[in-house]
C-alpha cells in the first residue's frame, strides 16, 4: 500500500466516523431518504446514479453481487432488498465497512482494490462506482474486478470527459498531495480499453435536461425530484451533454444480447426504492456485529487464494498459514507492499487481453498515464490551488457557456 493510499484510508476512516459519537451519523450516501437526515443537494446526483445502476441490474440475471468501494453499504442494501441476492461490500475504510454492518447488516470487509480477498469468479456482478478516479493503480484495480467477476462488471465515473485534451487539462490542475482526490480522469476510450470492446457506455445524466433552476434540491417536493430524475436520466448516448459515465460489461456476449428486454420492476418502482428511507430505525453505533459464516466462506487468502477459517479472534489460511486480523467485527484484508508491481501487471494485462495486443498496449499506456506520466503541472498551480473555490466557480460557468 502506497503513501497516498494510506493517507486516503485515514481520511476515509475519519469521514465515516462523522457524527457517530453524537448518534447523528453524517452519511455519505442518501441513506435516510429524500430530504431526511443529513440530506444535501448533491444527493440528487447520487439518486440519478443509483437509479441508473438499478435500471441496469433490473435487466440482468444474477445471484451474487459485490460492491467495491461500497461506503456504508447503501447500494448493496438496495440490491439485496430488490433482487433478493447475496451481497458483499468492501471498502478501503474499515469504518465504512463497520457502518455497513451496523446500519444495513451487509457483509463487509476492508481491503485495497488492487488485492480483493476473493477467489476467481466469486461474484456474478461486480460494481465499482466512483472509486477508480481516487486510487493509485486504477488499471490494477480493474484487473481485480475482472478476476472476481463471473458474469459482469459495472463501472461509473463522475468526472468523465470526452477528449484526451480535456483530460490533460483537468489532470494539470490536480493536487496529488491531497488524500482521496480525483486524481484519474477517464474518457470513453478508456472504458473500451479497461472493460473491452463490447462495453456499453451510457451517461449518468444529461446536464442539458437539468436546468440551473432545478438543481436546488431543498425547495423541491418528492414529486419534483421524481420528475427531474426521469428527465435527466432518459438519454443513453454519451457526449458533451453528459455528466458522469457508466460502463457495463457482460461476459457472455454483448450487453444488448445478454440483458432481458424487460426488468422485474418498473422505473417508478425503482424510484420508490431509491427515494424511500433506507434506515427505518436508528442504528446502534456501539455494536460490533460478528463476521458472518457466509462472508468467511467467500473470503480467500490474499497470498495463496486459499480458503479461510476463524479459529479464534482472526482469520487463518490453512494453505499458506497466513493470519488476517478482525477488528470490531470487520476483516482487515491488507497485504504488505504497494500491490502495483509492473511485471505482475504486464503479465495479467496480457492474460486478460489475449491476442488483442493493441488493447494490451493501450492498457499499459493508460497505467503509465495515471501512475508515472502525469501532465506537466500548470505554471500557476500554486495560485490556482489557493483560489480553488473561485476557480471551481469559473470552470462551472465556462462549462455551461461552452457546453463542455
> What is the percent of the chain with per-residue pLDDT over 90, rounded to a whole number?
50
74-112 pLDDT, tens digit each: 999 999 999 999 999 999 999 999 999 999 999 999 999
Q: What is the pLDDT of residue 132?
A: 92
Q: Is 265 left (phi over 0), alpha (psi -120 to 50) or beta?
A: beta
- The continuous run of DSSP H or E covering 333 comes out as strand 330-333
pLDDT band at 386, cuts 50/70/90? very low
Q: Which residue has the higher pLDDT, 216 or 13?
A: 13
Q: What is the pLDDT of residue 208?
A: 65
Q: What is the pLDDT of residue 210?
A: 65
Q: What is the pLDDT of residue 312?
A: 80
Task: Go through the chain and tell me how many residues it has.
Answer: 404
45 closest CA partner among 189, 196, 204, 200? 204
Q: What span, in angstroms and rounded, lies between the C-alpha atoms of 146 and 249?
A: 10
Q: Judge whether residue 8 has pLDDT over 70.
A: yes
Cell, residue 199: 462495453
- The pTM of the full predicted model, rounded to 2 decimals, is 0.88
Q: Judge whether residue 394 has pLDDT over 70.
A: no
- The continuous run of DSSP H or E covering 88 comes out as strand 86-91
Measure Cα distances from 91 to 112, 151, 237, 382 in Å: 7, 21, 31, 32
142 closest CA partner among 111, 108, 113? 113
202-248 pLDDT, tens digit each: 888 887 666 665 556 566 777 888 888 888 888 777 777 778 889 99
Q: What is the pLDDT of residue 389?
A: 47
Q: What is the pLDDT of residue 387?
A: 52
Cell, residue 326: 478482525
Provide DSSP, 103-138: HH--EEEEE-TTS-SB-TT-EEEEEEES-GGG-S-H
Most confident of 337-341, 358-362, 371-375: 358-362
180-197 pLDDT, tens digit each: 988 898 988 999 999 999
In this predicted structure, which of 71-80, 152-161, 350-359 has the lowest mean pLDDT? Answer: 152-161
Please give the mean pLDDT across all residues of the chain.
84
252-290 pLDDT, tens digit each: 777 777 888 888 999 999 999 988 876 656 688 888 899
Residue pair 246/203 in contact (Cβ under 8 Å)? The answer is: yes
297-320 pLDDT, tens digit each: 999 999 999 999 998 889 999 889
Q: What is the pLDDT of residue 38?
A: 57
pLDDT band at 72, cuts 50/70/90? very high
233 closest CA partner among 197, 204, 198, 263? 204
Average pLDDT over residues 394-403: 57
Map residue 305 onto helix, strand or coil: coil
Beta bridge partners of 125: 65, 152
CA angle 76, 81, 83 (to 5 degrees): 90
- The continuous run of DSSP H or E covering 245 comes out as strand 242-250
pLDDT band at 48, cuts 50/70/90? confident
Q: What span, in angstroms and rounded, lies between the C-alpha atoms of 230 and 214?
A: 13
Average pLDDT over residues 30-56: 77
Alpha-carbon torsion, ordered 185, 191, 195, 197, to 10 deg: -160
CA angle 80, 249, 348 (to 5 degrees): 110
Taking each helix axis as running N to C, give the angle between helix 357-371 and helix 138-148, from 0 to 180 degrees, rounded to the nearest 10.
130
Could you tell me the sign of the dihedral formed by the alpha carbons of 16, 19, 23, 25, in that order? Answer: negative
Measure Cα distances from 232 to 41, 96, 200, 223, 398 in Å: 15, 30, 19, 14, 21
Q: What is the pLDDT of residue 268?
A: 92
Q: Judge whether residue 36 has pLDDT over 70.
A: no
- Looking at domain 3-287+355-373, its CATH class is alpha beta
In this predicted structure, which of 157-166, 175-184, 205-214 has the lowest mean pLDDT? Answer: 205-214
pLDDT band at 173, cuts 50/70/90? confident
131-151 pLDDT, tens digit each: 999 998 999 999 999 999 999
Q: Judge whether residue 391 has pLDDT over 60.
A: no
Query: From the centroid of its chain, how far is CA 141?
Result: 11
In this predicted structure, which of 103-112, 328-337, 382-391 has the lowest mean pLDDT? Answer: 382-391
Q: Judge whether residue 366 has pLDDT over 80.
A: yes
Q: Judge whether residue 331 has pLDDT over 60.
A: yes
Amino acid at each position: 500500500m502506497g503513501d497516498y493510499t494510506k493517507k486516503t484510508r485515514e481520511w476515509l476512516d475519519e469521514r465515516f466516523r462523522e457524527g457517530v459519537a453524537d448518534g447523528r451519523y453524517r452519511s455519505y450516501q442518501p441513506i435516510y431518504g429524500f430530504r431526511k437526515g443529513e440530506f444535501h443537494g448533491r444527493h440528487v446526483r447520487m439518486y440519478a446514479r443509483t437509479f441508473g445502476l438499478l435500471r441496469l441490474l433490473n435487466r440482468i440475471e444474477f445471484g451474487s453481487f459485490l460492491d467495491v468501494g461500497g461506503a456504508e453499504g447503501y447500494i448493496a442494501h438496495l440490491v439485496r432488498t430488490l433482487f433478493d441476492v447475496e451481497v458483499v461490500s468492501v471498502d478501503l475504510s474499515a469504518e465504512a465497512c463497520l457502518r455497513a454492518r451496523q446500519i444495513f447488516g451487509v457483509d463487509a470487509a476492508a481491503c485495497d482494490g488492487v488485492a480483493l480477498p476473493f477467489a476467481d469468479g466469486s461474484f456474478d456482478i461486480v460494481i465499482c462506482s466512483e472509486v477508480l478516479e481516487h486510487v493509485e493503480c486504477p488499471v490494477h484495480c480493474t484487473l481485480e474486478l475482472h478476476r472476481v467477476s463471473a458474469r459482469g462488471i459495472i463501472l461509473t465515473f463522475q468526472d468523465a470527459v470526452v477528449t484526451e485534451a480535456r483530460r490533460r487539462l483537468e489532470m494539470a490542475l490536480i493536487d496529488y498531495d491531497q488524500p482521496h482526490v480525483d486524481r484519474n480522469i477517464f474518457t470513453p476510450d478508456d472504458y473500451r480499453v479497461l472493460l473491452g470492446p463490447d462495453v456499453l457506455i451510457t451517461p449518468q445524466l444529461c446536464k442539458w435536461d437539468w436546468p440551473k433552476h432545478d438543481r436546488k434540491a431543498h425547495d423541491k417536493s418528492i414529486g419534483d425530484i421524481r420528475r427531474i430524475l426521469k428527465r435527466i436520466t432518459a438519454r443513453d448516448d454519451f457526449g458533451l451533454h453528459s455528466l458522469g459515465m457508466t460502463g457495463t460489461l457482460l461476459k457472455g456476449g454483448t450487453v444488448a444480447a445478454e440483458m432481458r428486454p424487460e426488468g422485474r420492476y418498473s422505473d417508478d418502482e425503482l424510484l420508490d426504492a431509491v427515494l424511500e428511507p433506507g434506515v427505518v430505525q436508528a442504528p446502534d453505533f456501539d455494536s460490533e456485529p460478528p463476521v458472518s459464516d457466509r462472508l468467511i466462506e467467500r473470503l480467500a487468502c490474499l497470498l495463496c487464494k486459499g480458503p479461510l477459517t476463524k479459529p479464534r479472534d482472526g482469520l487463518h489460511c490453512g494453505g499458506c498459514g497466513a493470519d488476517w486480523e478482525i477488528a470490531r467485527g470487520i476483516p482487515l484484508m491488507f497485504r504488505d507492499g504497494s500491490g502495483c508491481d509492473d511485471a505482475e501487471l504486464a503479465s495479467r494485462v496480457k492474460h486478460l487481453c489475449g491476442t488483442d495486443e493493441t488493447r494490451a498496449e493501450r492498457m499499459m499506456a493508460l497505467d503509465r498515464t495515471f501512475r508515472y506520466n502525469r501532465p506537466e503541472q500548470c505554471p500557476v498551480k500554486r495560485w490556482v490551488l489557493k483560489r480553488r473555490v473561485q476557480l471551481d466557480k469559473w470552470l462551472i460557468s465556462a462549462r455551461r457557456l461552452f457546453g463542455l
